């Protein structure tokens, strides 16, 4: 058995992910962070997990929050992914400063991103630290999908529209 790797060759990072915006509001402070590491972790019950890096302002908020929002971005929302992924809420109110379109959630204090493909309002079920990132698992209290919107893909720092379907 080889020793576990201490770090991974950059060329091995060839994953394709969607981009979600994680919204958290604590004591009147609302913030939005882009996350490619956000995915379902269980179907029954439905659970969603997001990995939040230790340096993120979101990390400080989500450690204290009971709920968070997940807005799965549509293909025309790369600018939102960039705005929420290149700036920190510790320095700027991203939602206000970049005019990010939001709408109120029904069950959580954080807003949701308007025009996204799907929106989830989650209750925090569990938090666990894995190295640099904290996995926060949420139980959706409400989940809405907008099938007329197409999900955006993210790969090695670039944003893509989904391409042709391949028949196996
Ligand atoms: C497309 C994209 C995806 C990202 N995915 C993640 C992620 O899954 N987890 C994470 O901790 N940071 C991720 N980041 C980095 C954070 O979004 C970025 O550090 C952000 O400025 C943190 O905001 P905050 O300090 O307001 O929380 C991503 C950035 C981009 C642009």
**Which tens digits make up the pLDDT trace of 146-168?**
999 999 999 999 999 999 999 99
Ligand 1: distance of its center to the CA of 125 in Å?
A: 21
Mean pLDDT, the chain, rounded, equals: 97
Ligand 1: distance of its center to the CA of 44 in Å?
A: 28
Domains and CATH numbers, the chain: 17-160 (2.30.110.10)
Global pTM exceeds 0.75: yes
**Which tens digits make up the pLDDT trace of 44-56?**
999 999 999 999 9
Pocket around ligand 1: residues whose beta carbon is below 6 Å from it?
Answer: 19, 31, 33-37, 51-53, 56-58, 81, 85-90, 154
Q: In terms of Cα–Cα distance, which of 58, 37, 59 is closest to 49? A: 37
- Please name the residue ranges forming H helices in the chain: 57-62, 78-86, 94-97
Ligand 1: distance of its center to the CA of 145 in Å?
A: 23
For ligand 1, atom 31, which residue shows the shortest CA distance?
A: 85
């Amino acid at each position: 058995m080889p020793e576990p790797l201490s770090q991974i060759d950059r060329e091995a990072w060839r994953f394709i992910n969607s981009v979600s915006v994680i919204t958290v509001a604590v004591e009147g402070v609302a913030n939005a962070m882009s996350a490619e590491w956000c995915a379902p972790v269980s179907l029954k019950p439905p659970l969603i997990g997001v990995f939040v890096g230790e340096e993120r302002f979101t990390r400080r908020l989500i450690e204290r929050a009971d709920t968070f929002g997940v807005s799965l971005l549509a293909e025309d929302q790369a600018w939102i992914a960039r705005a929420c992924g290149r700036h920190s809420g510790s320095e700027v109110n991203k939602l206000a400063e970049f005019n990010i379109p939001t709408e109120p959630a029904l069950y959580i204090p954080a807003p949701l991103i308007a025009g996204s493909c799907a929106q989830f309002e989650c209750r925090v079920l569990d938090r666990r630290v894995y190295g640099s990132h904290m996995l926060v698992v949420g139980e959706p209290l409400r989940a809405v999908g907008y099938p007329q919107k197409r999900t955006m893909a993210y790969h090695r720092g670039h944003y893509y529209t989904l391409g042709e379907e391949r028949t196996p």
